[in-house]
Amino acid sequence: METSLQAQLQQWRRHLHQNPETGFEEHRTADYTAGILSALGYEVVRGIGGTGFVASLRAGTSERAIGLRADMDALAIAEHAPGRAHASRAPGRMHACGHDGHMAMSLGAARLLAERRDFDGTVRFIFQPAEEHGRGAKAMMADGLFERFPIDAIFGAHNMPGMAARTFATRAGGIMASEDNFVIRIEARGTHAARPHMGVDPIVIGSQIVMALQGIVSRNVDPSESAVVSCTEFITDGLRNVIPSNVVIKGDTRSYSTDVQRLLETRMRELSEGFCQAHGARCTVEYTHEFAPTVNSCEWVDIAACAAAQVAEADAVDRDVTPMMISEDFGAFLQAIPGNFMFIGNGANGETGSTPLHNASYDFNDEILTTGARYFAEVARLALKSAVACKA
């Protein structure tokens, strides 16, 4: 059974890897995965939030329902994998984040649950589009995802290079950060580089703003909280001998709470507008919320950890992992429904699966496919029980 399952999962995963599609374009991906789930006996409803869909299976008599999320989209990265037989066939696109593996693990869990029917209630597999850009979860919810397909809790997972293969890690509370983007536009008065007194220099103003933004975290955020403010682009319309009229500063902030998000935005606006006013320039600040923080619900963390311990050894499960500043669209689901997000080790220390995410040479580690499939199946079983006895 295990060998057969592994071979099937690898076949599914490599097919998906060869045929990547980016956010909201996952038409063939959805056709392929929905077809497998339909053949397994699941009731599939397509077209939720664009290319997203839900596959449901019921067993027993319980009215409880659990959601298991799989992300479908690839990245606009050209794969660099000489000799890789299952490399991407789509120019400029590849599964550089392992969503092909996440889908294959979910399909494996669906197969295990359909074959055994050893659960009481309804399992819903939520195949989500456009995770990479933080738009897919909101699109599915705007289409009535949780009203049409009610669930008591939702579970997700992500492979993690740098963690030993087949290990697990989660934690109660914030496990991944929000991502907010900002654009600061400075309108000043350009002039000849030899006559700076005739203008208002936006480069000087912009430089002061960049330096001041770095003090927000150290001087305004409570030291017990975590936050990052990064200026990533500094764009001008100047030339070698021209002081520009305009500067655009772009960047990214990360945090784990909505209070810190609000603080970062408020201080960013105050500082930017203050420096511009002091120098006689004009300023506009655009601040957008791209990803919600991923905050695990305390009541479901133990169940997820118990499920992982049933699949791996108890000492292979970290129940209080250090939070990461990366972001995940799953956080939007957790704002509406309680649940848990789990990391699954993809490989470490130069071994198979240790190439970083979003790298042109990355590949999902097929050796963890059955581990992930068994985890998703087990967490569904445990979560559907009214009381859970953890054997870890």
Question: Shortest CA distance to 379 belongs to which of 341, 328, 330?
Answer: 341
Using only C-alpha atoms, what is the Rg of the chain?
Answer: 24
DSSP secondary structure of 40-65: TT-EEEEEETTTEEEEEEEESS---E
- Please report, in range form, the residues annotated as the binding site for Mn(2+): 97, 99, 132, 158, 358
The percent of the chain in helix, strand and coil, each rounded to the nearest 5, is: 35, 30, 35
CA dihedral 12, 18, 21, 26 (to 10 degrees): -30
- Residue 36's identity, in one-letter code, is I
The secondary structure element, H or E, covering residue 298 is helix 298-311
CA distance 19 to 104: 13
Give the relative orientation of helices 202-219 and 258-279 as an angle to the nearest 10 degrees: 150
Coil/strand/helix, residue 301 = helix
Paired tokens of 17: 């890897």
- Please report, in range form, the residues annotated as the binding site: 97, 99, 132, 158, 358
Side-chain half-sphere exposure of 62, counting CA atoms within 13 A: 18
Phi-psi region of 16 (alpha: psi -120 to 50; beta: other; left: phi over 0): alpha
Task: Say if residue 23 is exposed, middle or buried (CB neighbours under 10 Å; 0-12, 13-18, 19+).
Answer: buried
> CA–CA distance from 313 to each of 294, 306, 308, 310, 334 (Å)?
26, 10, 8, 7, 28
Task: Say if residue 334 is exposed, middle or buried (CB neighbours under 10 Å; 0-12, 13-18, 19+).
Answer: buried
